[in-house]
Amino acid sequence: MIKKKIYIRLALFFGISLSAFNSFGQDLQTYIEEAVANSPEIQKFQLRYDIASEKVNEANWIPNTEFSAGYFVSEPETRVGAQRARFSIKQMFPWFGTINARENYATSMADADFVEVTIAKRKLALSVSQFYFQLYEIRAKQKVLDQNIALLQTYEKLALTSVEVGKASAVDVLRLQIRQNELQQEKEVLQQQNNGIQAAMNSLMNRGYDKEISVVESLEIPMEDMQLSFKALSVNPELLKFDKLYESVAKSELLNLRESQPMFGFGVDYLPVAARQDMDFIDNGKDILMPMVSITIPIFNNRYKSITKQNELRQQEIQSQKDERLNGLESELAKAISQRNQARIKFETQSKNLQQAKDAEEILIKNYETGTIDFNDVLDIQELQLKFQINQIESIKMYFVQSTIINYLTN
């Protein structure tokens, strides 16, 4: 049941996070699924869970059967003859319910390891998503730089024409060319950043570092944000892990109580007897067969009392760890919501500024028609437009990165 619920929550995490970004969801979902399928880290946690699951089978055991044999060097004489040897077999059994308690404890530990697998998958999905948006940011900036370089080339042609008619100086042309060189440099630097992030994302998917990763052409911040509640944190797998650990300690204590009970056993001794030669009577030389029942009583049970105390302290520790992590998750959620809201505010402000910069650009173009264009103003406006466009892209990236964090925390 626990595994089914976690599988459902993992599917919801992927589904909700991708539904928010349905314009590119298929690509991102494909990358996430590939990373989960190929990640050595996920395989590590999965193998750890498989080992823990196998321990459930290990728990179904009873003590070894004891066999013993002895030979009388000096044969003791009995009425029916001399005893030559002694053979024994004995089997001890744990108290009723001990094996079941042992299996329940092993199962609870496996459940805790399964939660670890789920957490690892969710964190991997989060990392892949964040790299994806970073690649989007870089490539969107490169596109904007290309547009601005093309714009500067248009202005350069205008400047050359103005120089020919004596309405501009060669310095204006050089300034425009220098600005193009700077933008080209920024574009090349972004390409190196793209290569690094692409390699890191490929590493998460356990494939060639230089394999091309495609991202969406454009992203738009949605008109409205989903309503959030801090109560949703209570079902985060990172907290569920502590619940499963707490439960495993409870199962451990039940096992401890069973192991503190007596053990009982059954056995039989067989003693071959040599027949007496000096007389003949009933049962002469009859072998001895002696069934036995045994019990072990834990009179000195300080060990079990200590384990009980340790389990109580361990549960208190786990509860403290859970409370601490809950506080951390609440802090992370509040921070993510705040930064997502900041991203929206910045995006809206930059959109207004960009529109005003375009209006100023139109004014400059009209002035060119009257022969009064100032190429210093052209460069200033171009730099402002580029700044606002870059800020817009960064705001979009920040919005979606924080949205993935929010989805990770609350779904």
pLDDT at 238 exceeding the cut of 60: yes
pLDDT at 15 exceeding the cut of 60: no
Give the pLDDT confidence score for residue 80 in this predicted structure: 66
Name which of 42-46, 99-103, 255-259, 369-373 the model is least confident about: 369-373
Encode pLDDT of 193-218 as tens digits. 999 999 999 999 999 988 999 999 88
pLDDT at 18 exceeding the cut of 90: no
Encode pLDDT of 256-289 as tens digits. 999 999 999 999 998 888 777 767 767 677 778 8
Percentage of the residues of the chain whose pLDDT score is greater than 90: 61
Give the pLDDT confidence score for residue 411 in this predicted structure: 77
pLDDT at 1 exceeding the cut of 60: no
Bridge partners, 295 (sequence order): 264
Q: With bands split at pLDDT 50, 70 and 90, how would you rate the model's confidence at 3?
A: low
C-alpha torsion 376→380→386→391, nearest 10: 170
Give the pLDDT confidence score for residue 167 in this predicted structure: 74
Say which amino acid occupies 119.
I
Closest residue by Cα to residue 261 from 22, 98, 381, 53? 98
Give the pLDDT confidence score for residue 73 in this predicted structure: 75
